[in-house]
Amino acid sequence: MIRSLSRPLALAATLALVLAGCAGGCGDPTEIQLAAEGPESLAALAVEVGPRPASDTTSEARAFVQASGEAVLYDALAHTQDDPAMGLTLAGERLLDGWSWWLDADSLALDGDDRHRGVARPDFAVRAYLQRDTTDFIGKLLNSIRGDERARFVERISLVDLADSTAALLIAAPDSIGAVAFRPVVSAGAAADSARTVGESLVVYGGGVWTAIRAEGGAVRLGDIETAPEAGRDAANVPGEIVFETPGRLAVVTGATPAEADRLAGLALSRADALRQQRADRLVSVVESVPLQTEDAAFDRSLRWAAVTLDALTVRDSTSAALALGLPGREPQPGLSTIGAVRAFLDLGEWETARAMLTTFGDAQLFDRRQDLLGRAPNAVLPGGEARFETADATPLFLATSGEYVRATGDRGLVTGGPNFWFKSVFAMRGLYEEDSRNGNALASGRLLSRDGRTAWMDQGETTGGIQRRGAPVEAQAALYAALQTVRQYAEIMGVAGRENTRWYADTSRVLLGDLRERYVQNGVLVDRLGPDGAPAGGGSPATLVALDLLDDLPAEERGRLARATAERLAYAHGVGTRPQTDSLFYPFLREPEFYTEDAARYAGPVSTWLAGPLARVMAETGGTAPAWELTQRQAQLVTERGVIGAIPEFLDAHPRQSAGLPAVGGAPVQPYSLVELIRTAMEGFVGASWPDAQTLRLAPRLPETWGETQTTLRLGSGRVALTLRQSGEEVTAEVAPSGDLPEGATLRLAGGAGEVSVPLVIAQGDTAVVAREAFTLQLDGASAEVDGEAVEATATDPTPDVWADFAFVQPDLRDEYPVMRAVEERRDFSADALLRTNVRATVVAAQTDPDGDDWGSTNTFTYPEDVPDGVLDATYLEVSRDDSTTYVRVEFTTLAPNDPTLVAVAFDLEDGGERRVGRNALFDFPEDAGYEFVVFLGDGIEIENARGQSVGALSGTSAFDAAGGVLEFAIPNVVMPTVSRGDKIFVLVGPNDGSNAFRDVRRTASGNTGGGKVSESAPNVYDFIVGTVTQ
């Protein structure tokens, strides 16, 4: 028995008892009350997030996203922001980084560090702020026992649709706590400088529009307010504040002029309740239209969130539908096609959206051989109309998907009417098969090729440190096979099925399927591609799962066996990896900048979350329902438990950092592909829904055990079929309720185990009309079937294969050091052959001259140190070139000295963000909107550092300077730094070397060790600089 406790432990025990009765917060649960308000279907989706423990420094901030037209709000819920892309954006331009609050009664500022609880629903988000506790440990315990009197503040946030396609951000303060001030953080100093009072609004200019912030009964106070920046930003510009009494609310609205923005803000406030209700009503419709309900409440909630987010990413008008790829500034990697969303819209019953998306893609097809292949289809058409053409398989995927739509809906007008898909499909197929000297042939030996300008998913090219998939990728051949089936179907619709070219489609598809089975299977494993030389390459890559998902004409056992061979190499329970962990070039983490670039790792190990869909569907369709559900369940958990609520991140690490931890999320925080796959897997993989033709609904249920009794309602023609499904072993029971204007001959085909039964869904009424029949119960057990207890004829089918018996997911093999990390450690010390090599055949991609005699610093006043010869700090020319493996840099000078008194820093700005301050006493800051990812210091030797100041490559004891020629030349292998690309900037900074490869100080008066002429303390210690831009 423990007889006594020390005082701190006793207090801790008392505190635990007190808190045990206060889970969720006893003092003021306004945020919880708000989350439960309004429509029940939306309140049921509320996700609550608490603060991260102080010891948690690795997990991502939980965030929410709201969208209205081209406006997007992306922000953290119960944490400070951790992503520079967070804030309010319009048409890709960020208008607000965020905001903070001032509480007049407490004379207290509350910002991101004070957020302690958040709740996200589809229609709004609620955030609670709690004043930070700065007392010591004992004080915290005592405060908790006698009552926490720290200030609290709650806000409700809604992004709503205003008139004329304008969005309004409504922020309400529902509690009565006196006067508060809203402090907007604008994205740039220029916007802050434009701040003014217009009407009753604080108005700022940025992103090409005026943004007005206006509160009910509010007052504007202009002035620069100091606020700590979030998400690693360098600055936070707060040009003023809006003061108003609580309870109250404010609106943030944009306009073409300051007066227009103020007027619209007033309109938004006057209609705030109606606007919020309109948003809620629309989202209720989205949520309640999801055609699936199971006894697994957690999965149902994730599925509805997925439908809500897919809806938010979809921008519709009367004739078109386009899908946003993600958040502004955080789009996913290229190479996939958004046309796959059509299948999800079919499953969800949104057939009109599916058609609009197909016609939008059809309008973007290219039919000018001077531009590209005849009939080439895009990978994506973005809101606003931009079409992106990337991969070779985008065209056949588009054709195949249009065929799925026509089969399901019977919409022959798509083929024969205004959109004229028959014409477009025939010419697109001709564009694939005909010789094209201008644009390069699409096919060789009957196989679809990946090549420059028409690549494949995962192909980043060797110049980025990633992989290159040139030749005939397996998923492209599967897409081509599916496209040939569609064009043959269209020929039947057009009444030309007997023509020779139509028979050619059928013959060619059979040959292609045979080629896939013969050439692409090596030792029981489906290979990634046939290389340019025709040899198989890349066995068991994740692309094979994409191909198998398309190749549903393969015998089920063969298809399942090939999928299992890949899954045993790549499939973790949390997702499908991109390279086996047994490979010496396996990258366990997406981001490990000390050892490698993200480009190198992206498709060389980490989990690409969208791949769970193709694998799970093939698993379920070939007898592996249990592993398919385990994989899908983990994806569904991502929707509500990780990252952005309602979304699935683009990537996960293949391995967790610790054995008991979770793999980190990465890549785009919001993207449509994984959401589409989750919806499709639920409806096609587990419910087993498909439409063989416009009169037939086929169900092949493969229900997970946790789903229990499952309800679904599916469209058929202009009617619907409601079903309640129960499954036990081989036995399937379906309670069927047809309704609406079903097509003549409407039929339900139910498949399960080793049998299939067809039952009519309509009965004749009069001589010509048909109506939906009365509800009935259908039971199928093997090859025996009953309707309402009476036997009906069933057809025996092949039994479900047993290829997934004893299947086990890959278990992460965690290591203290992985081979790719050892390789980096070993290659940090380079040879002169690696870093001093030149290549006269390399392509020059940037060249910039600089005047002689301008080596006098940023203030034009610098003088040399007394021991440094004239001219050695005067750079006159920069040239950057590249080949497939290396970036080369050449800098010319007026003169150079043999004892190397010159120090040069060459910084590379390769992407958004980056480090602004160049180290080693350069004191040089990049412009506010720029930053570098790598910097090379050249003096006594060469040192390559990343933006974190970590050495990633070095050469000691050898100079890169050629004093006789007045030239500096060096090379950076792509294994250290990704190659430069169009738009990248290279900054060359020159100054005197202090002997330790750091820039010497510049002071007012020169001496033997320091330069002179500094008239401003903020001036960098740089005498000359050149900025070059990569132009190709």
Per residue in 734-768, pLDDT (tens digit) is: 999 999 999 999 999 999 989 999 999 999 988 77
Domain boundaries, the chain: 29-285, 828-1029
Beta sheet of 795-796, edge-to-edge order? 689-693, 696-699, 747-752, 755-760, 795-796
Question: At a CB cut-off of 8 Å and minimum separation 6, what does 458 contact?
Answer: 335, 466, 467, 469, 541, 542, 543, 578, 603
When mean pLDDT is compared across 297-311, 453-467, 882-896, 996-1010, the lowest value belongs to: 453-467
| CA distances in angstroms from 28 to 782, 880, 990, listed in the order given | 59, 61, 59
Question: At a CB cut-off of 8 Å and minimum separation 6, what does 834 contact?
Answer: 955, 971, 973
Question: At a CB cut-off of 8 Å and minimum separation 6, what does 837 contact?
Answer: 886, 888, 971
Beta bridge partners of 366: 376
Structure tokens at 628: 């398919």
Return the pLDDT at 585.
79
Rounded Cα distance, 669 and 86, in Å: 11
User: Region 688-706: what's the mean pLDDT?
Assistant: 98
Amino acid at 642: R
Amino acid at 754: A
Stated as kind and residue range, the H or E segment containing 613 is: helix 612-621
Rounded Cα distance, 791 and 785, in Å: 6
For the CA atoms of the chain, what is the radius of gyration? 32
Whether residue 465 is predicted with pLDDT greater than 60 in this model: the reply is no
Candidates 1.10.1060.10, 3.30.450.40, 2.60.40.1190, 3.30.70.270; CATH matching 828-1029: 2.60.40.1190
Give the best-scoring range by mean pLDDT among 185-199, 312-326, 623-637, 835-849: 623-637
Burial 827-841, CB ≥16 within 10 A → b, else e: eeebeeebbbeeeee
Whether residue 25 is predicted with pLDDT greater than 50 in this model: the reply is no
Q: What is the pLDDT of residues 663-682, one digit of tens each?
A: 999 999 999 999 999 999 99
CATH 1.10.287 holds for 29-285: no
Return the pLDDT at 812.
97
**CA-wise closest residue to 41 among 285, 278, 302, 307:** 285
Return the pLDDT at 142.
55
State yes or no: cis peptide before 656, omega within 30 of 0.
Answer: no
Return the pLDDT at 318.
81
| Residue that has been written with the tokens 């390459």 in this structure | 537
Rounded Cα distance, 380 and 385, in Å: 10
| CA distances in angstroms from 730 to 292, 616, 637, listed in the order given | 22, 20, 29
Question: At a CB cut-off of 8 Å and minimum separation 6, what does 822 contact?
Answer: none
918 backbone dihedrals φ, ψ, rounded to 5° = -85, 130
**pLDDT grade for 607, boundaries at 50, 70 and 90:** very high
**CA-wise closest residue to 613 among 552, 551, 549, 705:** 549
Question: At a CB cut-off of 8 Å and minimum separation 6, what does 417 contact?
Answer: none
436 versus 29: which is more confidently predicted? 436
941 backbone dihedrals φ, ψ, rounded to 5° = 95, -170
Return the pLDDT at 20.
33
Return the pLDDT at 143.
57
Structure tokens at 1011: 């330069």
Question: What are the CB-based long-range contacts (under 8 Å, 24+) for 579-585?
Answer: 579/603, 579/604, 579/605, 580/540, 581/605, 581/654, 581/655, 581/810, 581/812, 581/813, 584/819, 584/820, 585/819, 585/820
Question: At a CB cut-off of 8 Å and minimum separation 6, what does 359 contact?
Answer: 319, 320, 414, 419
Task: Decide the pairing of beta strands 201-206 and 125-130.
Answer: unpaired
Return the pLDDT at 976.
86
**CA-wise closest residue to 632 among 292, 284, 286:** 292
**pLDDT grade for 884, boundaries at 50, 70 and 90:** confident
Task: Decide the pairing of beta strands 902-909 and 886-893.
Answer: unpaired
Return the pLDDT at 127.
98
Average pLDDT of the chain, as a whole number:
91
Half-sphere exposure of 566 (CA within 13 A, CB side): 34
Q: What is the pLDDT of residues 770-792, one digit of tens each?
A: 999 999 999 999 999 999 999 99
Q: What is the pLDDT of residues 992-1031, one digit of tens each?
A: 999 889 999 999 988 888 999 999 887 899 999 999 999 9
**pLDDT grade for 17, boundaries at 50, 70 and 90:** very low
Q: CB-based burial of residue 180 (10 Å sphere; 0-12 exposed, 13-18 middle, 19+ buried)?
A: buried
Structure tokens at 155: 């806000």
Return the pLDDT at 6.
32
User: Region 308-332: what's the mean pLDDT?
Assistant: 94
463 versus 354: which is more confidently predicted? 354
3-state SS, residue 725: strand
**CA-wise closest residue to 484 among 456, 510, 460:** 510
Rounded Cα distance, 448 and 455, in Å: 11
Measure the CA dihedral 680/681/685/688, to 10°: -40
Burial 670-685, CB ≥16 within 10 A → b, else e: bbbbbbbbbbbbbbbb
**pLDDT grade for 825, boundaries at 50, 70 and 90:** low
**CA-wise closest residue to 292 among 695, 630, 640, 689:** 689
Question: What are the CB-based long-range contacts (under 8 Å, 24+) for 128-132?
Answer: 128/25, 128/30, 128/31, 128/78, 128/152, 128/153, 128/154, 129/101, 129/153, 129/154, 129/155, 131/106
Structure tokens at 677: 């796959």
